[in-house]
Structure formats: C-alpha cells, structure tokens
Amino acid sequence: MPGKRGPKPRFTSEQLEQRMLDAALDAVISSGVTGGLDAVRMDHVISNAGVPRAAAYELWRHKGSSTSQDNLRRGTLLHIVRDMPGGNAARTRDYAYEVLGELSPQIEEGTRESLLFVRREMVRRVAAFNFEDLQSQRWRIYRTITSSIGTQDDEELQQAVIQGEENLLSRYREFLEGLRQLLKLDLRPGYTVDDFVLSVYALNDGLANRMGPSFTNQVRIIDGKEWTLFAIGFDALLDRFLVDSAEA
C-alpha cells in the first residue's frame, strides 16, 4: 500500500518567488524566442517549481494590479533582463578558474615564458567558452527581449535593462581585473580598466549578435590549436591595453 504523501515543503516568500522565476525562465528557454512569455503558465510553473499552489497564487496576486498569471509573466520578464546577463559572466568566471587550476604549475613557475603560455591558453579557452554561451538560447532570448524593450515606454523595464547590463559589466570587470593581476600585467598609460572591459564586451557582443553562425563558428589553427575569432580579437585587445609589469 503506497504511503501517504507528506505536506509540500514550506518556503519563505523570497524562496517561493525565486523557485518560480527559475521554473518560468526554464519554460521560456525551452519554448525558444518565438514562444516567449506565452510559455509561462501559472500551473505549469507551480508544478515544475514544486511549490504550494495556493501560496503561489497569493504571492503573485500581490505583485501587481493584474492577475497572478500576468504578474508572474511580468516578474519573469524583469528577471530575464535584470539577472540573466550576470549569470553569463559568472559562468565564464567559474570556467576560467577551472582553467587556472589546470595551469597552476605554469603559474607557480612564474617565468615570463610560462606566464605568456598561461595568458594565451586562458584567452583561447575562456574566450571560446564565453562565446559559446553568448550563442546559447538563453542569450538569444535575452537580446530579443531587450531589443523590444528599447521601443517601449516602460521606465521600470528600461531601468531593469540598465541594471542587468551594469551587473554584467561588473562581473566582466571583476574577472578581467583578476586576470590582469594574476598574469602580472599593467594597464598601458592613458587607459582605464573600464576602457578594457567595455572593449572586450563590445567585441564579444558584436560578434555574437551581428554575425551569422557560419561566420561566428569559424576557427583558425594557430600553433596547432584552435582559436575562435573572439579569442583572436581578445588577444589583440590584451596587447593594446595591457603590458607586462616588468616592461611598464
């Protein structure tokens, strides 16, 4: 005889909201760009999030002047434009730390030649990872939504887009500044860290959003290893903005 079902776990309102937003985002990603927010259906999200139905409806009923369903879709939209960009940068940062761990013997060696090898491997591998992430369904959805928001007279959404981009650039800044210090590189005179960060971001975003897959997926073989076009551009930007500390 099957046992009785226990009560569903209790969540704080913040936990309940976050679980539902994560489930709603998964629904949008699964549906793709064409499906959009229509894929966010209240009961479906509740089921996937594993939260109590009554509490979920009550939470979103108070999130705006519309229905719980529409308020959830609005909340999902804000979540996408405000929080998704930082997630991309965070995934790149975490992967970069994995690569650094693999290259720790060369880092500990500390010679100019070993650090140059680390730099090139970091650029080659991390740039490829980051560019693949920007080609993902998640990023395409983000860019499609933010582009449409630019034509709307909705201050809350426009502020959320600005906040998301600031969050993204902050993560980029943290990672690139850490990489600069680790590889013992200094900024060339006349440049700031923000100049470097914005240039790297513009290169990456431009390639990911302006070029077709047949172009962006091309690689070049350099010294027997595959280099994506973004990695080649990133390496050039490093030379433009940064210099070995011993030469500064």
Please report the domains of the chain, with CATH numbers, ordered by start residue: 10-62 (no CATH), 81-244 (1.10.357)
Mean per-residue pLDDT for 236-240? Answer: 93
pLDDT tens for each residue of 161-193: 898 888 888 888 888 888 788 778 899 999 999
DSSP strands (E only) in the chain:
185-187, 219-222, 225-228, 242-244
Given a contact cutoff of 8 angstroms between Cβ atoms, the answer to whether 167 and 85 are in contact is yes
pLDDT in tens, 10-48: 789 999 999 999 999 999 988 876 778 889 999 999 999
pTM of the predicted structure, to 2 decimals? 0.72
Contact 161, 146 (CB under 8 A): yes
Nearest to 27 by CA among 77, 81, 92: 77
Please answer whether residues 167 and 90 qualify as being in contact, where contact means their C-beta atoms are separated by less than 8 angstroms. no
- Name beta bridge partners: 41: none
* Burial label, 153 (beta-carbon count in 10 A; 0-12, 13-18, 19+): exposed
In sign, the C-alpha dihedral spanning 51, 55, 59, 65 is positive
